[in-house]
Each structure stands twice: as C-alpha cells, then as structure tokens.
Amino acid sequence: MKQVKKRVLVAPLDWGLGHATRCIPVIKMLLQNNFEVFIAAQNACAQLLKKEFPFLKIVPLPGYNISYSDNKKTFLIKMLSQFPSIKKTIKKENKWLERVRKEYKLDIVISDNRFGLYHPKIHSIFITHQLHIKVGNFFIEWLAQKINYYFINKYNECWIPDEAGLEGLAGELSHPKKMPFTSVKYIGILSRLKKATHKKNIDLLVMLSGPEPQRSIFENILLPQMMPLKISMVLVRGLPAEDNKLAHENNYLNIYNHLPAEELNEIMLSAKTIVARSGYSTIMDLATLQQNAMLVATPGQTEQEYLAAFLSNKNYFISANQQGFNLIQAMNDVAKASMEPFKKTDQLLLQKAILTLQ
C-alpha cells in the first residue's frame, strides 16, 4: 500500500523576517522526506515564503502586530504594555488552529515562536533559540522564563536551532541552566544558504532587517554615508512586500528591497565587508557561509545586544552600536579584525529530528 503523506503546518512568528527565513530549511527538509507542507503566514512573511515555495498552500494567519519603540530607553516598557494584546493573540491562535486542523486534516504543527499553535490531537513542535530571555533585569528574566516555559511545555517537543555542545552560537539564550519539561532537541544551525568558493568582487554589503521603526532609522543613518563612496556596494533593505525601488544617484550602489535565497547567497559570498543586524537568523546565515561581519544590534532588543557582545567576545564577529555608527570606521575595523569562522558540527540533526515524525 502507498504510504499516505503526513500533513505538516509550518508557522513562523511575524516579528521581522528571521523566523520565516530560518523555516525555509525546515520546509525543504520536510518536502525531501515526503511530508505534505502547509504554511501559516501573512503580509511580509507570506510574501517571502511564497517566493521560495510558490507551489505550497499559504494559510493566512494574522500576526501579533507588535509595535516597537524608536527609543532604546522605552523599548522594554512598550513591550510589557503590549502583553495583554499578545495574550489575546495567543488565544486566537489556538482557536484558529482548531479550525485549520480539521479543514486541512493536519498531523503535525511546527510553530516558530508562536505560542498558541499547540493541540492535543496533533504532534506540536515549538522552535526557539531563546529558552533564556535576556532583558537585563533578574526578576523580569525569571518571570519571562516562567511564561516562556509555561507555553513551551504545552508542546510535544521543543527544537532549538543551535549546537548542543558548550555554548553553541546563541550562548546562554539556547543553553540555560534550567530546561523546560518537554522533550528538547538541538537541531543544529538553520540556514537557507550554502557555503561555496566565490570571487570577492563586492566591497560592501549592507543587510537591513527587523521591525520598524528601527529598520528605517538604521537605513537613514547608512544611506548618506554610502552615497559619496566610489566602491562596489549592495544594500538589501529587507522589504519583501515592497515593490517600489529606492531611487539614488550612485552608480556604484545596487539597492534591492529583497533577494531570493540563491541570489542573496551569491552576493554574501562575494562581499569583502558585511554590515548586518545581530538577529539570530542573520547570524546563522553568516556562520553557515563562514563570513566575517560587523554586527549592529537593534537598539533596545536585548537579545540582539547580547548576541552581538557574546559573538564579538568569541571572536566570530565584531560589533558596533547604531548610535554614532560610522561606516568607514566599520569597514576598516572588519578589514583589520582577525575573526575565526564558526565551525558547524553535525549537519544531520535537523533531518534526524524530522525523520522521527514519519
């Protein structure tokens, strides 16, 4: 008898694009192992995943609609004030999943940081690299972990995109002292990109990402510094849903709203200097390609600030602050730095985790 394909729903969080991009290798591995895949997403995340998988069904799922502060000092307060709204969204997600589970006859759901997508009648998996949530306050970190584990423990499994040994790539974030009760699996570094030898013919690559308004704020800091330069430059704006091109008069600069994985892969491998956010998905891409980079954390995002400092101390990358950012200085610092590439270990961890679902 022909084996019936198991149906899997993959649902990335909509805070920036990193959760969607790191779901790409998960989706590819599911397809390679004969699963039928559905994607739950909306707006920019849906646009990005539709370009990568035009043949897959995308089921609209509203996001958390989180608004971010443009001021580092008020970032945490603004996030805490939105907790009641987040809690309502989690409940709506759970009800949404009950309807979609029946409609699409789902067997498995893989939720990348969406807290409400668990169900007792289907195998539910939660993906996160943040078991320990860094906020810079002991009591709030303790409370955040309690809330985090409360939801994670409702899932059958928790998959961590990192190496199990020592500190991995995410340090304390993915290697906390206390683990959740549910089954935990380290599935290795997730990246849609592949390492290859390539000629370095791009002097500067700037990759913007993350939520507004900080994405635009950093873009407005960088563009005036890029315009006078007469070197080969590429700016990827991190706006997959944007159709309008950004006009400029520098013939040495190519600007893209978004690039598919293959093109981005080639451009990253071609770059002598990369300036990027210290979002974890970007870091996993850089680590996979073994590319040096200058990391600039989004102000107020304590996770990114921790990762930038941690990885700089490990000598994998160097970092700088957004405030007062000097592009020429950053390029000089990257050129002088002696960074060591992060060496991935077990390449089969993700496949092993997925094969257990068959």
Residue 344 confidence (pLDDT) above 80: no
**Tokens, residue 324:** 């007062």
Residue 78 vs residue 267, higher pLDDT = 267
The residue assigned the tokens 């978004």 is 258
Q: What is the dihedral of CA 109, 112, 114, 120, to 10 degrees?
A: 30
- pLDDT for 3: 61
3-state secondary structure of 256: strand
- pLDDT for 32: 94
CATH architecture of 7-188+347-355: 3-Layer(aba) Sandwich (3.40)
Would you list the domain boundaries of the chain? Answer: 7-188+347-355, 202-336
Structure letter (DSSP) for residue 175: S
- CATH, domain 202-336, list 3.40.50.2000, 1.50.10.10, 3.40.5.50, 3.40.50.300: 3.40.50.2000
Work out the average pLDDT over 220-238. 96
- pLDDT for 323: 93
- pLDDT for 73: 58
Q: Predicted confidence band at 141 (pLDDT cuts at 50, 70, 90)?
A: confident
Q: What percent of the chain has pLDDT over 90?
A: 66
Residue 193 vs residue 86, higher pLDDT = 193
To the nearest whole number, what is the mean pLDDT of the chain? 89
Domain 7-188+347-355 shares a fold with domain 202-336: yes
> How confident is the model over 251-299, as pLDDT tens digits?
999 999 999 889 999 999 999 999 999 999 999 999 999 998 999 999 8
The residue assigned the tokens 């069904």 is 57
- Paired strand residues for 60: 41
- pLDDT for 72: 54
Work out the average pLDDT over 118-136. 92
Residue 177 confidence (pLDDT) above 80: yes
